[in-house]
Amino acid sequence: GNSVTQMEGPVTLSEEAFLTINCTYTATGYPSLFWYVQYPGEGLQLLLKATKADDKGSNKGFEATYRKETTSFHLEKGSVQVSDSAVYFCALSVETSGSRLTFGEGTQLTVNP
Amino acid sequence: GAVVSQHPSRVICKSGTSVKIECRSLDFQATTMFWYRQFPKQSLMLMATSNEGSKATYEQGVEKDKFLINHASLTLSTLTVTSAHPEDSSFYICSATTPVAPYEQYFGPGTRLTVT
């Protein structure tokens, strides 16, 4: 089956620190990989995605590279801001039309000034 | 990007009553919508997949007679929680998939249901 494993949180950092949130996956077939962000009291927003091996997704200073050999899609940001405080979800999809998403457990990030 | 709305954003209802939550894709037609439930500090649990014009497909363990899903048009899906109980209190999130590649899912802002 399909599954996503994220590093356990919560993660607390100081502003301008380097962020890494680990994500590994197992999948039947060739998955597309996603990172979603959820701000308090809101739904999910797509942060970035990658659809094939070695692709790098990037947005708002966040990056993640699709590593097929290690089945990983780690999220990184060089310098976090207070406004990045949120819950981050790694997810995968192996279907095309009407794709179902399999989510990781989510990682709570808190950035202190 | 595409916009998905949910209504209401918050609802409080008494035990034993029913409550309807609407999910709308505002600027695209969604042949498929998904309904999720999220408990505090937990990930999203897929409840059902809703396809326009057909019956919803429920995930194992989700009571279809309790969580009624109707996908009446390409822009609207509704989730009705029937005979609600306090344990149904949760954050319900819908998503809609664009009908053409890359078939991305766009999420609504969620509905906080509290059953008293």
Decide if B30 touches A, using CB distance below 8 A.
Answer: no
Residues with pLDDT less than 70, chain B? 1, 101-103
Instruction: Tell me which chain A residues have a C-beta less than 8 angstroms from the C-beta of B104.
Output: 46, 49
Whole-angstrom distance, CA of residue B48 vs CA of residue B40: 20
Residue A69 has pLDDT above 60, yes or no: yes
Contact (CB, 8 A) for B5 and B24: yes
Contact (CB, 8 A) for A99 and B103: yes
Decide if B68 touches A, using CB distance below 8 A.
Answer: no
* Residue of A101, A105, A110 best to disrupt the B interface, most CBs of B under 10 A: A101
pLDDT at A88 (0 to 100): 96
pLDDT at B104 (0 to 100): 77
CA B109 to chain centre: 11
B93–chain A nearest CA distance, Å: 7
Over residues A82-94, the pLDDT tens digits come to 999 999 999 998 8
pLDDT at A97 (0 to 100): 40
pLDDT at B102 (0 to 100): 66
Over residues A17-68, the pLDDT tens digits come to 999 999 999 998 889 999 999 998 888 899 999 999 999 999 999 999 999 9
3-state SS assignment for residue A101: coil
Contact A89 B43 (CB under 8 A): yes
Measure Cα distances from B71 to B46, B53, B54, B59 in Å: 16, 6, 7, 17
* More confident call, A14 vs B44: A14
The DSSP output letter for A72 is B
pLDDT at B97 (0 to 100): 86
pLDDT at B7 (0 to 100): 96
Instruction: Tell me which chain B residues have a C-beta less than 8 angstroms from the C-beta of A45.
Output: 107
Residue A107 has pLDDT above 90, yes or no: yes
Contact B32 A97 (CB under 8 A): yes
